[in-house]
Every structure is written in C-alpha cells, then in structure tokens.
Amino acid sequence: MTDVPVRPRSFVVLAGLPGAGKTTLLRHLDVPGSPVTVLDSDQVRERLRALLPAALPYRCFRPLVHLLHRLRVVLRAITAPGLLVVHEPSTRPTTRAWLVAVGALSGRQRHFLWLDATPEEALSGQVTRGRMIRSRSFQRHVRRSLDLRDRFAAGWGPRGWSTTTRLTRAGVADGLRLSVTPPRRDRLR
C-alpha cells in the first residue's frame, strides 16, 4: 500500500486523466484515525441520475454535475472537519489554480496527488467503467497530461501546493493510505 503523509485538515486533490483509476482508488482509500470527506463528481452524477428521467443522456446534465461538484468542493473546504480529498482531473492550469485558491482560502495545507496513467490505460479504464468521455475532450486531457508527465519527471511541482506526489497505477494497486501526522511544535525552553 502506498503511504502519503499529510497534515490534519489538509486539502488533498487526486488528479489524473479521465479513466486513470481515481474513483476506484478513492473507493479503497485508507485514512486511519482521522475524519475524512471524499468528494467525487461521480457522487453528484449518481444522485442526479436517480432524480432525472432515465432516458436523459449524461451529456445533457454534465455541466450541472460539474457545477454542483465544484460548489460542494468550496462548501466542504470551508466546513469539513479533518481531511478533504477531492477527485478532479486537474489537467488544466486554471483548474489547479482554482483548487489552490480554495485550499488557501479555507486555511488548508494543499497536497496534489497525480495518478499517472498512459492514454491507453485511461481509455481502457473508461471502457471498463462503461462511460466514455468525448474524443476531443479526452485528447485535450491527454495533451495536457503528457506535458505534466514530462514536467513531473523533471522534478517540477505545480505552484501553490505543499507537496506534489506522482503515483503510478502499479504503485497503488494495493491501495492508498493517507497518514495524518500532527504538525510539529517547537518546544519552549
């Protein structure tokens, strides 16, 4: 199991290509001894799917899913005790900047976890889950993710994050643990 140390009340973003395995990884997330809130847009999609006519295609309410997911992220960043773990592809610099702002304004230490997957692995993941994103949209994610991949390999980390961790699918095959470590306090002498 891959272990990532975080501070109490951190803002953790699990990012990567659509289909990389983020939702699956979050379903098996281990956070021993700490309250955790996990926000995934699939949660919103499933709730709306239950309320809307079954024949309505997802593409018709996708913008509403993304809007509600982002509103939930902001609200929970302000109100949630303990860790806040957010699923967001984050291939766009503007999305990463928005997430940094949410984390900073809510007073949370920010951790960026990139689940690395090849385009072929991500596409296979979409097929397996039975939900494909539009080809043009996927290609944009792929272009941006390949640039991120090269930059991560060179030791770069996106601005505004306390830590950046590159995860591999093989490395998290046995799961992901977020170990909450208390902040260090200097002793008074």
pLDDT tens-digit profile, the chain (189 residues): 999 999 999 999 999 999 999 999 999 999 999 899 999 999 999 999 999 999 999 989 999 999 999 999 999 999 999 999 999 999 999 999 999 999 999 999 999 999 999 999 999 999 998 878 999 999 999 999 999 999 998 999 999 999 999 999 999 999 999 999 887 665 554
Domain 2-180 in CATH 3.40.718.10? The answer is: no
Evaluate if pTM is beyond 0.85.
yes
Bridge partners of 14, per DSSP, are: 87, 113
Largest Cα–Cα distance of the chain, in whole Å? 69
d(CA 53, CA 135): 25
Residue range 142-171, pLDDT digits in tens: 999 999 999 998 999 999 999 999 999 999
pLDDT of residue 185: 65
177 Cα distance to chain centroid:
14
Residue range 22-43, pLDDT digits in tens: 999 999 999 999 899 999 999 9
Bridge partners of 114, per DSSP, are: 15, 166
Bridge partners of 180, per DSSP, are: 6
